[in-house]
Amino acid sequence: MKRTTTKFIITTMYMTQIIVQDKFSNRYHLRKN
């Protein structure tokens, strides 16, 4: 159970990082144009 929780936290952090990078990338792209 502890292992599953750790895996879930890592997955959530990874997904959050992707979403944040995507938003930042879009914002930068809009600003560039």
Output the pLDDT for position 13: 97
Output the pLDDT for position 19: 94
**pLDDT per residue as tens, the chain (33 positions):** 678 899 999 999 999 999 999 988 888 777 765
3-state secondary structure 11-33: HHHHHHHHHHHHHHHHHHHHHHC
Identity of residue 6: T
- Predicted TM-score (pTM) of the model is 0.55
Cα separation, 33 vs 29, whole angstroms: 6
Cα separation, 8 vs 15, whole angstroms: 10
Output the pLDDT for position 1: 64
